[in-house]
Amino acid sequence: MSYEGHIAGEIMQKQEPGKSNLKFSDHRVTEANSTSRKRRKSFIALWLIAAILFISASAQETKKSGTEQSSTPATPKTVVNAAPASAPTVRTASGIVRGVTDGDVSSFKGIPYAAPPVGDKRWRPPQPMPAWQGERDASKYGADCAQAGRARGSGAIREGTSEDCLSLNLWKPAGTKPGAKLPVMVWIHGGAFVGGSGSGPEVSGEQFAKQGILLMTINYRLGRLGHFAFPALSREHPEEPKGSYAYMDQIAALQWVKKNIAAFGGDPDNVTIFGESAGGVSVLSLLTIPAAKGLFHKAISESGGGRDGILTGRPISKENADPYYPVSAETIGINFARKHGIEGTDAAALARLRALSAEKIVDGGQESTPEGLRIYAGPILDGKLVVETAESAYKAGRQARVPLIIGSNSAEVPAGFINASSKEEVLSLFGALKDEAKAVYDPDGNAELARMLTLVNTDKVWAEPARLTARAFAAKGAPAYIYLFSYVPAAMQERLRFGAPHASEIAYVFNNLNARRGATTTPKDQEVARLMNTYWVNFAKTGDPNGKGLSKWPVYHPKKDEIMEFQLDGTPVGKPDPKKARLDVIEKAAKSGVLQTRGH
């Protein structure tokens, strides 16, 4: 169990029946001036951040051992010293990079895929990276993107982070020659779009490379640097997309792949994108963003949801245009400017915003003012880059037609989206479906409140939306595969009584169990990691996760409703979805408009 899984589990066990005061009110009430909503938002942000803090901290420690990081922009490196004879070099469109070979894997880290997004490039689409002379050292990770530190609200950004952060890392089998056409996988990290990192031991790509994959991880702009709108910004450069600069960065990284990956031995026509949490949301968004079309050919979304209302897109300028996001992104930008003493909405106000330090933009990770005014927008529907949500694309059949793996963990979070202080209160949230909800969540009347809240939150936010997504892909003739990750190591089962928490599958997917701080690895852990890593590798190679010696993973068909469950004991079993009855009730609730919450 990864460290972020431990944290989610700790939160789960601390959820006490009868003690929750976090019930959501009607989602149609305006977001502004709501302190209770601010607290709920903070709760959700905290567990999402908890799920990535260890990865970020590990990455920070890894970087410290080899290089110093700064919050100030770095200048392009020109390497003039002689490289070791075994150091691999590759010529990219911007210049030569020099990596490291360790055993049978070569790695290249900290390669910039775009110019530093600083100064007048802040809140602009990523710009081309200037060429450099000589060999650029690619043996160490670059800075993570600017984000709040562990002490939320402190006003400082986390050590090792910077606004100059648009870099990527890749691993490949040593000796791979240009034109080898290895399958490419691009990992998009999670962190609620406000934290996280594409570096660190838990998401390093050695094990993928050992199975013949060219594995790449990326950084992308976070928080207000990654999602921001302001009236003067909307008027500036009208030909450019606005709002979700994080998605623009992800697309720029995929364009870098198309242009450069063949030189590393990768196949630009066989690219799989995959990500978890906000990274999984990003995958689903890229499947519907026109500018991303043709840049990848398979997709994996881990705990990425799929229905509207969870990191899915706020209107850029229209108020009360979306029931989940009634306050526009531009209004939120104005709120943030005023918090920092910047009045007006003209070009002069925008210039003052761009003059703020990265630390002031990050603002300790604060997403609302003490008065309850929102100051962080999250993903934005600008009508040019992001033209619709994933759910609206599914309903119209406009998503990309590519093979898909999608799934969730058995006990993602203890609360935060649906909250209540009693079982009766939970069931009452289902409205006319109350009796049906009781039949699936508390059939004998003996269910614990904490367990019920965990299952309802997990099913509503992740499991049922994953099924919705798989059905949409199947309807379009694209193969879809659903997984349920339920594995909890035997030593942790008493502590994690309700199942596998959010992000706990990542170390198994990457087969990097030894990267987990303080965790003991058992032979069963290693077997589960080997199996999951192999299923993901097979899918990247062929579009089908199945292979010799593996339990059969059934392709999803709505009438059969079959999935692959990595069971509590680690055994992978293809079978009818054991959560079907619960998900059917959640689907009815989604269609009838009950059990709704404000957008996150």
The residues that are catalytic are: 277, 412, 502
Separation of alpha carbons 284 and 105, rounded Å: 30
- Give CA–CA dist 114/329, Å, rounded: 25
Specify the length of the chain in residues: 600
- What CA–CA distances, in Å, run from 251 to 59, 295, 325? 23, 8, 25
One-letter-per-residue 3-state SS of 21-60: CCCCCCCCCCCCCCHHHHHHHHHHHHHHHHHHHHHHHHHH
Three-state SS at 308: coil
Do 577 and 483 contact (CB within 8 A), yes or no?
no
Q: Backbone phi, then psi, for 532, in 5-degree steps? A: -65, -45
Q: Which two tokens stand for residue 119?
A: 């100064």
Residue 224 and residue 221: Cα distance in Å, rounded? 8
Q: DSSP per residue over 517-558, as a string?
A: TTPPPPHHHHHHHHHHHHHHHHHHHHS----TTS---PPP-T
Q: Note the helical H segments in 136-205.
A: none
Sign of CA dihedral 334, 335, 336, 338: positive
| Residue 116, token pair as written in the block | 């530093």
- Whether the Cβ atoms of residue 411 and residue 459 lie closer than 8 Å to each other: no
Q: Which of 428, 419, 523, 433 is nearest to 461 (CA)?
A: 419
Which of 246, 251, 249, 248 lies closest to 227 in space, CA to CA? Answer: 246
Specify whether the CB–CB gap between 526 and 513 falls below 8 A: yes
Nearest residue to 433 (alpha-carbon basis) of 441, 484, 79: 441
Say how far apart CA 158 and CA 149 lie, in whole Å. 4
Burial bucket for residue 451 (CB in 10 Å: 0-12, 13-18, 19+): buried
Helix (H, G, I), strand (E, B) or coil at 106: strand
